[in-house]
């Protein structure tokens, strides 16, 4: 893909990078997110955001959810994912745990998308612990081809 | 159940994983696990999102329980923002003598792997009759 220097986006990305690295620096040891995604207390679920000409895709790494209880709300260019990861079992006492690394509980995360979406056509799929949301861009946000008339 | 990672010599060099998953051609991360004990046995729950059921290859060999999943083949897209990569999972645990190897059962549902490790039947004391000569 042809990469053109886009100062605003590039600086925004750079700033995010610095924020993220500072956050990891200030976070207590053992709470680093990339290595054990479920342990990250600040950002859950972890997401990848991709884009093509027609859609924006959000992939979220969220194992062990009940797909029916997931709440995805879209308003213009803002998407919110909310849900609850239930603990593996509630029948066992704390002392019967040898290891407890998988965090559980309610989460919510909001994203600002680069373009406005067509709320009615948003589709979400939950498969193997990965939530994929396909957000079609609204007509106004799509690039328009303009034919040049030759006089 | 102690955690231990040992280098394994497998026939296929492509899937060889070593300590921490740092070497080898594939990349692995260590999945977060819960291990809790019930009356009948141990339960091991691991978060391995993104794996297909077919790509999970768990094994027990020489008292070593291996949780392993091959990296999924993600669709290569034009990413705006990236927080995770499609990587495989690898983690090993040493099994105690109490675990019944044959009875280990695995279940996979929505990115969570649930292993049940039943305790073996307790060895019953055997009565030995003493013969009087």
ipTM over 0.85: no
Q: How far is CA A139 from CA A73, A76, A112, B23, B80, in A?
A: 20, 12, 18, 47, 20
Q: How far is B1 from chain A (nearest CA, A)?
A: 8
Residue pointed to by tokens 């000409």: A53
pTM: 0.70
Give one DSSP letter per residue of B56-107, joined into a string: B--EEETTEEEEEEPPP-PPP--EEEES----EEEEEEE--TTB-GGG-EEE
Q: How far is B3 from chain A (nearest CA, A)?
A: 10
Residue pointed to by tokens 């039943």: B118
**Tens place of pLDDT per residue across chain A (151 aa):** 556 677 777 777 788 777 777 665 555 444 444 444 444 456 788 888 998 888 899 999 889 888 888 999 998 888 999 998 888 877 777 778 888 888 888 888 888 888 888 888 999 999 888 999 999 988 887 777 888 988 7
The per-residue pLDDT for range A33-69, each reduced to its tens digit, is 444 444 445 678 888 899 888 889 999 988 988 888 8
Does the beta-carbon distance from A46 to B83 stay under 8 Å? yes
pLDDT of B12 > 70? The answer is no
Tokens of B92: 């090993």
The per-residue pLDDT for range B107-119, each reduced to its tens digit, is 998 889 999 998 8
pLDDT of B45 > 50? The answer is yes
- Contact list in A for residue B79 (CB cut-off 8 A) is 48-51
Q: Which of A98, A103, A132, A135 has the most B C-beta neighbours within 10 Å, making it the best mutation to test the interface with B? A: A98
């Amino acid at each position: 893909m042809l990469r053109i220097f886009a100062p605003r986006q590039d600086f925004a990305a750079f700033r995010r990078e610095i924020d993220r690295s500072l956050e990891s620096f200030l976070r207590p040891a053992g709470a680093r997110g990339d290595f054990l995604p479920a342990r990250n207390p600040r950002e859950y679920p972890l997401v990848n955001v991709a884009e093509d000409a027609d859609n924006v895709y959000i992939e979220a790494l969220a194992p062990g959810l009940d797909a029916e209880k997931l709440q995805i709300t879209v308003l213009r260019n803002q998407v919110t994912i909310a849900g609850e990861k239930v603990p593996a079992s509630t029948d066992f006492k704390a002392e019967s745990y040898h290891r407890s690394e998988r965090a559980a509980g309610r989460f919510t995360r909001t994203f600002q998308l680069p373009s406005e979406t067509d709320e009615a056509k948003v589709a979400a799929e939950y498969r193997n612990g990965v939530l994929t949301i396909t957000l079609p861009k609204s007509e106004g946000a799509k690039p328009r081809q303009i034919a040049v008339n030759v006089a | 159940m102690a955690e231990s990672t040992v280098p394994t010599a497998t026939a296929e060099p492509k899937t060889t994983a070593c300590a921490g998953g740092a070497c080898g051609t594939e990349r692995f991360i260590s999945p977060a696990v819960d291990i809790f004990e019930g009356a009948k046995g141990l339960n091991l729950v691991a978060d391995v999102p993104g794996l297909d059921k077919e790509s999970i290859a768990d094994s027990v060999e020489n008292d070593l329980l291996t949780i392993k999943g091959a990296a999924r083949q993600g669709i290569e897209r034009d990413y705006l923002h990236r927080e995770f990569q499609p990587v495989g999972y690898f983690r090993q645990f040493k099994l105690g003598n109490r675990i019944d190897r044959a009875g280990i059962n695995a279940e996979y549902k929505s990115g969570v792997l649930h292993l049940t490790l039943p305790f073996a039947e307790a060895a019953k004391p055997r009565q030995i009759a003493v013969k009087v000569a």
